[in-house]
Structure 1
Amino acid sequence: MQSKRKVKDMYRKPVWLRIAWGTMQAVLIVAVFSFVVREFMFTNYVVYGQSMMPTIRDGERIIVNKIGYELMEPDRFDLIIFHADEDSDYIKRIIGLPGDELRYESDTLYVNGEAVEEDFLEESKGSNGSEVFTDDFTLEDLTDEQTVPEDHVFVLGDNRQNSIDSRQIGYVPAEEIVGRVNMTFWPPQNIRFVH
């Protein structure tokens, strides 16, 4: 009986080795899970600049929902992150969807000939020193096209007088969109969902 027990003990791994192996497995599982979540579900960004103020402030950290956004139809007024170039990602608001005819006239957005309210700009317009918050333009003035092309969106920053957006860089291809901004999480006093 004792000889069998000795034989079993010879093949048993030392306690420290079992603990190390268990720890390595846990770390690997967490790393794979984190990679999958970050690549395919959610990611976070730090916002630099004032182009989305007061909706999103310089230095705030945001959560971006990537789940299936490339398969979904974007909605007007979604806040999105997109690849502006090889080195930079921008945060902007979708104003124009594929097929839309857009124009601004007397600080009013017109989509397909109808005035559209931009409630999210009320705070900014009230604190704006000048009378005009968004300068007049038409798509044709900016792009030589009358409507937003298929698989593209037209974006603007909420801080209209201090934003590099579709007025300068043109339409954003749908495949360059990373995802929709869901919430801010840093600094803690600014935690909120973004609609």
Structure 2
Amino acid sequence: MMAAAWRALVREAWERSVVFTQFICFLNVFSNHVAEVHQCLGPSMLPTFNVSGDILLLEHVSSKFEKVRPGDVVMARSPVNPNLVVCKRVLGLEGDCVTVLPTSSRGHVKQVVVPKGHVWLQGDNAYNSTDSRHYGPVPYALIQGKVFYRIWPPEGWGPVLNQQP
């Protein structure tokens, strides 16, 4: 009788661990290939996002199918520090001629043609952003996904719209 109770308890624990493992696998696949929650910190995207960090929903489908357009806000691996994910606006795709604002008030405006397989990323706060003006065009493969919704802070809740530069 005692052995049967232990067997039932072990079977129940096994079944629950299988369900838990399946759920974790689902979450992993979903966050890597469909959508995930991400935080954007720092002044580079002012006034679109707050310095203290907005919580954003990021979808991966657009970047996987190369449906990112100029004006979209994306999260991308930094080309100079792969441990860092940056939040920037796409100003140009491959073949586009981009007007590049200077990094300081004493700089000059110039034109850059984005090379094949790359995008030009720039923060909305042009004078306080480390972006493609510093590290050049970013390989498309470094784009993690497109920001489509802000979920925090509550007063900023809503879709993140494409704003053509």
Give the TM-score normalised by the residue count of structure 1: 0.70
1:89 to 2:46 alignment: no
Aligned mates of 1:103, 1:188 — CA distance in 2: 35
Amino acid at match of 2:71: F
Once the two structures are superposed, residues 10-30 of structure 1 have per-residue CA deviations (whole angstroms, 9 ceiling, x without a partner) of: 878754334322321221111
Deviation at 1:63, TM superposition (A): 1.2
Q: Name structure 2 gaps, 5 residues minimum.
A: none
CA distance in 2 between partners of 1:147 and 1:95 (Å): 11
Q: Secondary structure at the match of 2:121?
A: strand
Counterparts in 2 of 1:172 and 1:159: CA distance versus 1, 3 Å: same
Specify which of 154, 174, 185 is matched with residue 140 of structure 2.
174
Please tell me the residue identity of whatever aligns with 2:18.
Q
Query: Which amino acid in the other structure matches residue 139 of structure 2?
Result: P
Which residue of 57, 64, 71 maps to 2:65?
Answer: 71
1:98-109 to 2 correspondences below 5 Å:
98-103=94-99
Residues 1:138 and 2:138 aligned together: no
TM-superposed deviation, 1:80:
0.6
**5 Å matches for 1:160-171?**
160-171=126-137
Mapped partners of 1:184, 1:42: distance in 2? 13
Question: In 2, distance between residues paired with 1:80 and 1:137?
Answer: 24
Q: After alignment, is 71-80 or 169-178 more displaced?
A: 71-80
CA distance in 2, matches of 1:21, 1:175: 40
**Aligned equivalents of 1:18 and 1:104: distance in 2?**
64
Residue in 1 aligned with 2:125? 159
- Give the alignment partner of residue 24 of structure 2, picking from 1, 20, 31: 31
State the SS of the aligned residue for 1:54: coil
Gapped runs of 5+ residues in structure 1?
1-5, 106-131, 140-145
What is the number of equivalent residue pairs in this alignment? 155
Contact residue 70 and residue 174 of structure 1 kept, 8 A: no
For the aligned residues, what is the CA RMSD?
Answer: 2.7
Larger radius of gyration: 1
**AA of the residue aligned to 1:83:** R
| SS state at 2:22 partner | helix
| Aligned counterpart in structure 2 of residue 148 of structure 1, from 114, 117, 131 | 114
Q: Distance in 2 between matches of 1:25 and 1:65?
A: 28
Query: Could you tell me which residue of structure 2 aligns to residue 50 of structure 1?
Result: 43
| Pair 1:104–1:152, CA change in 2 (3 A) | closer
Contact 2:46 / 2:124 at 8 angstroms: preserved in 1?
yes
| Preserved contact between residue 104 and residue 138 of structure 1 (Cα < 8 Å) | yes
Deviation >6 Å, runs of 4+: 10-13
TM-score norm. by structure 2 comes to 0.81
What amino acid sits opposite 2:157 in the alignment?
I
